[in-house]
Amino acid sequence: MAYTIDLSERVALVTGGSRGIGAAVAKMLAEARAAVVIGCTSESKTAIGLRNRLRGMGVPAELVAGDLSKPETARAYIDFVREQFGQLDILVNNAGVWKGDPIDELRPELLTEVMNVNLMSVFDLCRDAVPLLRASSQARIVNISSTASLMGEPSYSPYAASKAGLDGLTRSLAVELGPFGITVNSVAPGWTETDMTTEELKTEAGKALVESIPLKKVATPEDVANAVLFCASNMAGHISGVTIPVEGAYRIRR
């Protein structure tokens, strides 16, 4: 018998939700009948178009815009969800930037930006979301990490460090919030077909990288969204504090 994931009457916030992995997650949660709030930097045509497509699927969908490198933005996101829906059941922390420098050329402003968006904003969002999540009977936090946190990434040490910190936060919050029935997991994509990686994957080095993946392909945003949907569903009700790699065995290749 097929198992259908039904997230009816649940409200999800997906940060960085207007494109790439975030957009795939938002669509998949909407297909499972969740109401979706798309967090984005600005109300672009792409973001508005996605919101309208989700509404066309018959589910409530809203946009909340703001720069998550600024600490006040997280509270604004959560306040928006509270005002619009009065509840939050699923928090997907997907917003992130992929920037790097060789360590001996590392710019302080780059380090600050990467850490603020990829890690500090997640602390802020979780802190401000917990009162709403505690009121939910099936609360889920899903953090989008990276295999860079598991392997390291030359010349992208700020990115790898931010994602390693995110995995540490995931494990810590799983223990801290477990007594309230809140599960906390992270999904760690490897190389994925998004606008952040398109040009890199077209190079000879990028083509060689694809060949080094045992499955001989990079992930699609939907591959990653499938793992997020699982973590958000009842099927993962007793899974917490884990990091799920979605990378075609790239990190364990020989």
Active site residues: 159
Handedness of CA 50, 56, 58, 61 (dihedral sign): positive
The H or E element that residue 183 is part of is strand 183-189
- Which tokens sit at 7? 């997230």
| CB proximity list for 78: less than 8 A, separation 6 or greater | 13, 88, 125, 128, 129, 132
- Which tokens sit at 25? 């997650």
The H or E element that residue 127 is part of is helix 121-134
Mind giving me the DSSP string for 48-61? HHHHHHHHHTTS-E
Distances (CA, A) of 12 to 81, 86, 174: 9, 12, 18
Alpha helices in 191-236 (DSSP H): 198-202, 204-212, 221-232
Return the DSSP state at 133. H
d(CA 204, CA 252): 22
The 3-state secondary structure of 58-115 reads: CCCEEEEECCCCCHHHHHHHHHHHHHHHCCCCEEEECCCCCCCCCHHHCCHHHHHHHH
